[in-house]
Structure 1
C-alpha cells in the first residue's frame, strides 16, 4: 500500500536532526540510515544520505540534499500533546536546542523546521458545538506563544484568566 511520507531536506545534518526529533516524544525511533555508496552532491562515500525515522509513529525521512534549502512555515509538523507537561517538555527541548518561538503554539527548530506544539484538548475546544466557547478559546490562543491548557480551558469555559 502506498504511503505519503514527508521528506525533509538537510545539508549534512539529517542524522543529527532525526536523532533530535526522535528524542522529543514517545513512539519515535530511527528505523533506517542509508549511506552514500560513492562521492556525490549529497556527500562523500560512506556519509549519511537518508535517515528514515518516526516521530510519535509518523514516518518521516531526512535527506542530506547537498545544499542549504530554507523551510517555510507554510508546512509544519504538528505534535498533539497529551497534556501541559508534554507541551512544556517538547517546547523546552526545541527551544533549548536553538529553537525560536512563534505565536499560537508554533516554534521553529534550529534547522528551520516549523512545529506546532498543541495540546489535544485544544481540538475539543475548537470543534465544540458551543461556538461562543470555541471562539473564546481561539481568541485566547491567538494571544499566546506557547499554549497554556489552563488558560485555554478558562477562556473556553468563560472564566477569567486570573
Structure 2
C-alpha cells in the first residue's frame, strides 16, 4: 500500500494565508495545490492540507506540531517566527501562532537531560518556569 497520512487543518477562510505563512518559515517548503476550498502544502517534506471549512471548529492544544531544535538559534528562530503578528507564548516550549495552531518548539537535548535520574528533577523545575526553552539554562539545571 502507498497510502499517505497527513494532517488537514480546518481554517475559517485563512487556509491560503496560513500555508503561505508556514512556507515562509520552514525551509524546503512549498504550496503544491491551491483553490478556493483547500490548499495543499509541504513543510520540510511533510504534507499538509489547509481547508477553508468555516467558523464551526477552532484549534486547541489537544493537537500540536513539534519542532525538534538542535541549537538555541533554531529555537529562537522558530519561536519568533511563529509568534509574530499576533501569536501567543505559552509555557514549557508551547505557543500558538496567529491562526491559533499550537506548536511545541523543543530542544533535542531535552530527552537526554530528562533520562538522567540525577538531573531530571532539576531540569523539570527549570523548564516549568520557561516559556521559550533556554538550552543553556537546562544544561545547567
Query: Normalised by the size of structure 1, how large is the TM-score?
Result: 0.80
Alignment of 1:96-135 (within 5 A): 96-126=84-114, 128=115, 130-135=116-121
Matches of 1:124 and 1:56, distance apart in 2:
25
Conserved? CA contact 1:108–1:115, under 8 Å: yes
Query: Normalised by the size of structure 2, how large is the TM-score?
Result: 0.91
Q: Report the Cα offset of residue 135 of structure 1.
A: 2.7
Equivalent position of 2:48 in the other structure: 60
Matches of 2:111 and 2:30, distance apart in 1:
26
Matches of 2:128 and 2:11, distance apart in 1:
31
Out of 120, 136, 139, the position equivalent to 1:150 is: 136
State the number of aligned residues.
Answer: 140
1:54-100 per-residue CA deviation (whole Å, 9 max, x = no partner) reads 22322211101133521110110111122111111111112222101
Matches of 2:59 and 2:117, distance apart in 1:
35
Equivalent position of 1:139 in the other structure: 125
Q: Which has the greater radius of gyration?
A: 1
Secondary structure of residue in 2 paired with 1:137: helix
Equivalent position of 1:20 in the other structure: 21
Aligned CA-pair RMSD: 1.4
Structure 2: where are the runs of 5+ without partners?
Answer: none
Secondary structure of residue in 2 paired with 1:132: coil
Conserved? CA contact 1:78–1:117, under 8 Å: yes
Structure 1: where are the runs of 5+ without partners?
Answer: 36-47, 156-162
Matches of 1:53 and 1:82, distance apart in 2:
25
Does 1:95 pair with 2:96? no
Equivalent position of 1:70 in the other structure: 58
Secondary structure of residue in 1 paired with 2:130: coil
